[in-house]
Amino acid sequence: MDELREASSGVGAPLRKVLPPPALCGFLLLLALMGAVAYATGAAAGPVAPGMQDTGNHRGGGAGGGTADMGGMHGGDR
């Protein structure tokens, strides 16, 4: 039985060292498949807010930069 193991391990040993484990290959394949399904679902659903367009008038950096024009969260008319 040991002779069979030595004979079979001599041929596939270098190949096994080069290839990643089968579980890693399966995980990467599943990850790619889920990414493709998510992309296809998003493309089929279309834009979230079709009427929302970028006007190109950006005054400052950061999220919520446009709220300063309307008084922000604290209100400008105190």
Residue 34 lies in a domain: yes
pLDDT exceeds 70 at position 9: no
- Provide the mean pLDDT of the chain: 75
How many structural domains are present in the chain? 1
In a domain, 1, yes or no: no
Residue 30 placed within a domain: yes
**Given a cut of 90, is residue 25 above it in pLDDT?**
yes
In a domain, 5, yes or no: no
Q: Would residue 27 count as lying in a domain?
A: yes
Residues 13-39, mean pLDDT to the nearest whole number: 92
Which residue range is the domain that position 37 belongs to? 20-45
pTM of the model: 0.46
Q: What is the DSSP string of the chain?
A: -HHHHHHHHHHHHHHHHHSPPHHHHHHHHHHHHHHHHHHHHHHHH--SSTT--------SSSTTGGGGGGTTTT-S--
Distance of CA 36 to the CA centre of its chain: 10
CA distance 6 to 25: 26
Q: Residue 56: pLDDT above 90?
A: no
